[in-house]
Amino acid sequence: MTAVSPLTDGELTLRLSQQDQQVVTFDVERGGPVGTVEVRRTTLGVGVVTWAMDGGPETAQRAVRLVAEYAFDELGLERLQVEVDPEIHASARVAIRSGFRREGILRGAALVEDERRDVAIYGMRKDDPRPDTITGWTALMDSALPKKRVIAHVVVRDTSGRVLLCQVSYKKDLELPGGVVEPDEDPATGASREMEEEIGVALPLVGVLAIDWLPRWEGWGDAVEILYDGGVHDPSLIDTLQPDGFEIRGVAWHEPDALQGLVSPLNARRLPQLLAKPTVLHNLRDGKPISPPAG
């Protein structure tokens, strides 16, 4: 066994107890034995950190931080992982507070008492900013906090009050121009980009008609949708549009009172409201008003 001076942060001490080509194990002491922490090599330059501790999450966090720096500096590893049951929140907190960013879920990756369980993966690279720095801590929190999809659609009307709807290739319901906002893209830019990609033109956005929260639906997670006002146009506008032919097969004007059965139940609920009062901001939950329209 290679001689290693005890690792310590002034309160916690890690003493090397086992080392081979695959596993390095430390006994953890804090006024007495409190558990163990180890690094197991998986592939070249990558290790998995595990711990068994009686001293609570704060003690585990200190031990994991110490062994992580040892693994990077002395073992030459470039990346470390922590793999925990998503239901064990204390382990997740230890991972985050030790500097590991949440990276995702491996569904059914563990077999526990003949039951398939999910595994949450937390990762740290050698060059990651550490959790005691501002950028390190905010990156950790950003990895763990909820992330909602943002959707931006555009409501385009003609002078007779009809709404422009697209025939899409991936479902039978007619849809508004627009789509999912990309990372690092503001919603208005996303709406304009999607409009140009789908129908060949980015019409000016003259305001926001509605903000809607969408619950989970048919495999989709919940989302926030912004419906922009694409303005009022002469019916001949439709002759200038150029559906992409792949996602959008065609476009047409539709009367507000004839949408049932043509659009999704969500749009059947909310579009008549928006078209009846297009000069106010509608605050919606799943297409239903949650407060009187502003204005």
Q: Does domain 149-289 have CATH number 3.90.79.10?
A: yes
**Can you read off the two tokens belonging to residue 289?**
């008003």
Q: Residues 246-280: pLDDT tens digits?
A: 999 999 999 999 999 999 999 999 999 999 999 99
Q: Which part of the chain has CATH 3.90.79.10?
A: 149-289
Is the pLDDT confidence value at 1 over 50? no
CA-closest candidate to residue 177, choices 201, 211, 212, 213: 201
Alpha carbons 217 and 122: distance in angstroms, whole number: 28
End-to-end CA distance of the chain: 75
Q: What is the radius of gyration, based on Cα positions, of the chain?
A: 27
* Mean pLDDT (whole number) for 92-112: 94
CA-closest candidate to residue 67, choices 14, 19, 117: 14
Q: Residues 43-100: pLDDT tens digits?
A: 889 999 999 998 889 999 999 999 999 999 999 999 999 999 999 999 999 999 999 9
Q: Chain centroid to CA 54: how far?
A: 33
The full DSSP string for the chain is ----PPEESSS-EEEEEEE-SSEEEEEEESSSEEEEEEEEEEETTEEEEEEEESS-HHHHHHHHHHHHHHHHHTS--SEEEEEE-TT-HHHHHHHHHTTPEEEEEEEEEEEETTEEEEEEEEEEETTSPPTTSHHHHHHHHHHHS---EEEEEEEEEETTS-EEEEEESS-SSEE-SEEEPPTT--HHHHHHHHHHHHHS--PPP-EEEEEEEE--BTTBPPEEEEEEEEEEE-GGGGGG----SSSEEEEEEE-GGG-TTTB-HHHHHHHHHHHHSTTSBEEEETTEESSPPB-
Count, residues in the chain: 295
* Mean pLDDT (whole number) for 157-171: 95
For all residues of the chain together, what is the average pLDDT? 94
pLDDT score recorded for residue 295: 56
Q: How confident is the model at residue 3 (pLDDT cuts 50, 70, 90)?
A: low
pLDDT score recorded for residue 218: 82
* Mean pLDDT (whole number) for 201-210: 96
**Can you read off the two tokens belonging to residue 220?**
């989709």
Is the pLDDT confidence value at 294 over 70? no
pLDDT score recorded for residue 292: 66
Q: Hey, which CATH number is domain 7-144, 3.40.630.30, 3.40.1190.20, 3.30.70.20, 3.40.50.2300? A: 3.40.630.30
CA-closest candidate to residue 230, choices 176, 277, 276, 268: 176
* Mean pLDDT (whole number) for 176-204: 96
Q: Please, which residues have CB within 8 angstroms of residue 72's CB and are 6 or more apart in sequence?
A: 78, 80, 126
**pTM of the predicted model over 0.95:** no
* Mean pLDDT (whole number) for 161-184: 95
* Positive or negative: CA dihedral 111, 116, 117, 123: positive
CA-closest candidate to residue 5, choices 52, 73, 62: 73
